[in-house]
Structures are given as C-alpha cells and as structure tokens.
Amino acid sequence: MASIALKAFVGLRQSSSEKPNFTTQVKPIIAHRKLRVNASKYSPKVAGRNLRVAIIGGGPAGGAAAETLAKGGIETFLIERKLDNCKPCGGAIPLCMVGEFDLPLDIIDRRVTKMKMISPSNVAVDIGGTLKPHEYIGMVRREVLDDYLRTRAKENGANIINGLFLKMDLPKEKNTPYLLHYTGYDEKTGGVGVKKTLEVDAVIGADGANSRVAKSINAGDYDYAIAFQERIRIPDDKMAYYENLAEMYVGDDVSPDFYGWVFPKCDHVAVGTGTVTHKGDIKKFQLATRKRANDKILGGKIIRVEAHPIPEHPRPRRLSGRVALVGDAAGYVTKCSGEGIYFAAKSGRMCAEAIIEGSENGKRMVDEGDLRKYLEKWDKTYWPTYKVLDVLQKVFYRSNPAREAFVEMCADEYVQKMTFDSYLYKTVAPGNPLQDLKLAVNTIGSLVRANALRREMEKLNVRSKYKQVKQ
Ligand SMILES: Cc1cc2nc3c(=O)[nH]c(=O)nc-3n(C[C@H](O)[C@H](O)[C@H](O)COP(=O)(O)OP(=O)(O)OC[C@H]3O[C@@H](n4cnc5c(N)ncnc54)[C@H](O)[C@@H]3O)c2cc1C
C-alpha cells in the first residue's frame, strides 16, 4: 500500500521512449458465466469425469482460483485449515479489485479518500485531493473478504474442505494423479481431525508465506519481512478522525526499511509496521509507530495483536509438473509496500484460467507447459512494476533525509495524481511530458537536498561521537 506514492514512477516510465511492457489492466475473462475455450491439443482426454484440481489455502489467491476453476468446468477442491481465519493484514485494496472481482460494497469497512504521509520529522503531507468523487482505497477485514470469496467459489461449484494439508505424493508416471494427505476437520469430534487423502490431477499452492506446497516441490526460499499489527478500538471521537483517512509513517524509528501505518476499519484502527533487516526489533518499531500516532489513538484498547511474514520476492521455482504456486506462496508482494491482496487474487485467477484453457474446460489432462502460460503472462504483466518499486525502495527508504525528500515530493499534485491512478487501477497512467520533466527535476532537487542533509547529519554524528570519546 505504501507504494501508492512510489507508483507515480510507474507512470513516469510510460512517457519515456521505452515501450512499457507492463500494461497491467488485464481484462477479467471471468464474469458470471462459464469460461469456454476452443483450443485443441494432444494431451489425453480425462475419461468419464472432469479434470480435478486441488487448491491449498483459502485466502484471496485460493478463493479467486477456486471460483474461476469451478466456473470453468473443473472439479475443484479447496482445502483451508481455518475457515474463520483472520489473516494478519492491513486490508487495503485498490479500487480496481472491487470492480474486477465484483466485490459488494458491504464487505468494505471504509472507503479511504484521504491519506497522510508523515515524515521522520512529523511533517504531514495530505494526499488524495486529486481523487475523483467515486474513487477510494478499500479497507477490508480479511476474515470478511476471504470468507466472501470462498463462499462465492462454493456457490459456483467448488468443494470447500476444512482441513490441514500435510503433504503430497508426486505422480510416478506421466498423467497419473497427485495424492494429497490432509487432516480433515469437517466431521471432527472433540477437536480431533481425521487423516484423509485426495487424488487430483493438478495442484495450486495458495497456502501463503509458509507454504507446504512450495516445500513439496522444492520451490526454494525467499527473503521476507516480518509485519506486526495491532487492532486498536479507539473512542468514537477519535474514530471520526479516521472515518475516511489512513496514515503512513516513515522514519528510522518506525522501520529502517518499511513504513508504519494506521488503517481504519469498521470499529477500530489497524496500527502496524514491518521490517526485513531488523526483525528482532519489530516490537520496538511497533511501539514507535503507536507513539507517533499517539494523540490520535489515545484511550484506545488493543483488541488483537498479530504478526506474519511478507515475502520480498518470488521463489526461485513457482512451478513443477502440474503444481503451481500463486499469491504469497509464490512471493507476489510488491517490495517496500507490502501490497499483496490484489496480486494474490489476480495470480490465483490467472493460474486457474491457464488450467481451464489447457484442459479445454476440464476435458483434457494438463501438463507443465499449460501451467507455464500463467507464469509467462504474470511475469510479462507485473515483473517491471516489482522491479521499479525495488529500485525506488533503495532510493527513498535508505535514510531519514531521503524519507523527508520522499514525503516532500508527495506534496506535488502531479505526483499524487499519477500515484493514485497507478495504485487504484494497477494500470500505467499516461504521463504529461512537461509535468514529468518538472517532477524529475524536483525529484533530483529533493534527493540532492536529502543527500546534503545526510552528509551534515553524518558530520554532526561524527562530531558528537568525537566529543564523547574526548570526554
Ligand atoms: C501485517 C500485514 C499487513 C498487510 N497489509 C496489506 C495491505 O494493507 N494490503 C495488501 O494488499 N496486502 C497486505 N499484506 C499482504 C497480504 O496480507 C498478502 O499478500 C495476502 O494475504 C496474500 O494472500 P494469499 O491468498 O496468497 O495468502 P494468505 O492470505 O496468507 O492465505 C493463505 C491461506 O492458506 C491457509 N493455509 C496455510 N497453510 C495451510 C495448510 N497447510 N492447509 C490448509 N490451509 C492452509 C491459511 O489458513 C490461509 O487462509 C499485509 C501482510 C501482513 C502480514
């Protein structure tokens, strides 16, 4: 979500001579109709039944994949260990997700139209003034969103299994099934689950950052951030301040490499922060975030404390045979921002579409080549966005002076417009060459000032250390 400011630069790239290959507005193929595919291929027909696909994990990635598969004629099983799971999450979603995934407004707690970016020295810049009347950032509680997506998948024919996936036996021969082992809780008695197995033709790993499916296919590891969040119920007058407003704090105190946030929910605010480099200090950063927001959340009661890893980049391997990873299991969270809900749902849907297409609506067996089409499409669509954010993190999150420069830039109306357009629609907003030039000059100016400030601060630090040594 922090990327909303950084994404301005995605916009900048489009007006350069370089042809952008990351036009992210992919038309949703799935509406409320069955996906029909007319491809023809030579893989064998599955006799007397439809293709069977299991999805492990019922977050946004799993829910979206299950709905798409079920609508596309696939016999779909979704295994989720906790059907009332409250995934630790800020719950900020872009406007395009509401449209593309046909989300009803009553599952969105708040529609944020104002955002405050707050610098290390507590300079607050208001952004959001350029939003059109219908535009907003959605704030959801994950227990609500995930349940909604799973329920809709079920209504479309997916079998939802309450179970803990344990491991899978890989097929020994071509086109033979995967055998999944899981503990089923559907008929559990006295809290004890029942060991079960399920045979399927393909598997989608949507089981998040600690994915067991990823382990089953030796997908390798990724760097990760640890994110910490407290849900805080605050007095009504304080809640009124956050009615349609969210805050983002940057500074060494709240995180050396991430940002702190206050996101409004139905009857509370979610206050959190994250870090990749100093995981052991996460509680210290959380305390600092709470302190920075103190006057606005005073009198609040912490009602839930939660923490979870956030992947920093895709896994070395995201596909093996007829098993593919999506969402956090694959590592699709944008660097430095921690935004992953939309990308999880999108990748789940994209992977499902590749299976539907490859299997001709469940009539034929799929192979690795069919699933690879999802990866190719994903990388073509999103890889540059991830790369740009990676570079920007390195530029703007490296020191407090750089963060001051970053917040200063956010005051620019043009930056705000490009930023919101890029974030809300996950598309590249066409830039205005003159404004782009002005912005580039301003950016360089801000960075030069930031560097000068950093040098002065370093000198001061050296002097004070020298003084201490002398004393
Ligand atoms: C503190 C925090 C704040 C964040 N804030 C934002 C934000 O504001 N906006 C944003 O876009 N992103 C945010 N993210 C990132 C976002 O939460 C993830 O990118 C997103 O949840 C990924 O969805 P997913 O479906 O891939 O995985 P998950 O949401 O992690 O879902 C995985 C599911 O799999 C289930 N599961 C796991 N293992 C098994 C198993 N063995 N058997 C059965 N089921 C299993 C889990 O119970 C879970 O329901 C945040 C993350 C954190 C940690």
Sign of the alpha-carbon torsion through 261, 454, 6, 416: positive
Residues 6+ away with beta carbon under 8 Å from 353 = 29, 30, 35, 68, 72, 374
State whether the beta carbon of 282 lies less than 6 angstroms from ligand 1: no
| Distance (Å) from CA 308 to ligand 1 centroid | 8
| Distance (Å) from CA 36 to ligand 1 centroid | 30
Which numbered atom of ligand 1 lies nearest the CA of 60? Answer: 25
For the stretch 156-166, pLDDT in tens is: 999 999 999 99
For the stretch 187-234, pLDDT in tens is: 666 668 999 999 999 999 999 999 999 999 999 999 999 999 999 999
State whether the beta carbon of 330 lies less than 6 angstroms from ligand 1: no
Nearest CA to ligand 1 atom 10: 339
Mean pLDDT of 241-265: 97
Q: Tell me the pLDDT of the chain averaged across its residues.
A: 86
State whether the beta carbon of 227 lies less than 6 angstroms from ligand 1: yes
Q: CA 247, CA 269: separation in Å to the nearest integer?
A: 10
For the stretch 57-104, pLDDT in tens is: 999 999 999 999 999 999 999 999 999 999 999 999 999 999 999 999
State whether the beta carbon of 345 lies less than 6 angstroms from ligand 1: no
CATH number listed for the domain at residues 31-91+141-221+314-393: 3.50.50.60
State whether the beta carbon of 103 lies less than 6 angstroms from ligand 1: no
SS3 track for the chain: CCHHHHCHHHHHHHCCCCCCCCCCCCCCCCCCCCCCCCCCCCCCECCCCCCEEEEECCCHHHHHHHHHHHHCCCEEEEEECCCCCCCCCCCEECHHHHHHCCCCHHHCCEEECEEEEECCCCCEEEECCCCCCCCCEEECCHHHHHHHHHHHHHHCCCEEEEEEEEEEECCCCCCCCEEEEEEEEEEEECCEEEEEEEEECEEEECCCCCCHHHHHCCCCCCCEEEEEEEEEECCHHHHHHCCCEEEEECCCCCCCCCCEEEEECCCCEEEEEEECCCHHHHHHHHHHHHHHCHHHHCCCEEEEEEEEEEECCCCCCCEECCEEECHHHHCCCCCCCCCCHHHHHHHHHHHHHHHHHHCCCCCECCCHHHHHHHHHHHHHHHHHHHHHHHHHHHHHCCCHHHHHHHHHHHCCHHHHHHHHHHHHHCCCCCCCHHHHHHHHHHHHHHHHHHHHHHHHHHHHHHHHHHHHHHC
Domain ranges of the chain: 31-91+141-221+314-393, 224-311, 397-470
Amino acid 220 reads G
Which numbered atom of ligand 1 lies nearest the CA of 327? Answer: 26
- In this model, does residue 404 exceed pLDDT 50? yes
Q: Domain 224-311 adopts which CATH fold?
A: D-Amino Acid Oxidase; Chain A, domain 2 (3.30.9)
State whether the beta carbon of 81 lies less than 6 angstroms from ligand 1: yes
- Residue 186: the pLDDT is 78
Mean pLDDT of 284-296: 98
Whether the model clears a pTM of 0.75, i.e. scores above it, the answer is yes
Segment among 38-52, 55-69, 286-300, 419-433 with least mean pLDDT: 419-433
Mutate to test the pocket of ligand 1, among 341, 424, 426 (most ligand atoms within 8 A of CB): 341
Mutate to test the pocket of ligand 1, among 95, 310, 334 (most ligand atoms within 8 A of CB): 310
Segment among 39-43, 163-167, 349-353 with least mean pLDDT: 39-43
State whether the beta carbon of 59 lies less than 6 angstroms from ligand 1: yes
Mutate to test the pocket of ligand 1, among 7, 79, 87 (most ligand atoms within 8 A of CB): 87
For the stretch 206-219, pLDDT in tens is: 999 999 999 999 99
State whether the beta carbon of 341 lies less than 6 angstroms from ligand 1: yes
Mutate to test the pocket of ligand 1, among 89, 254, 337 (most ligand atoms within 8 A of CB): 89
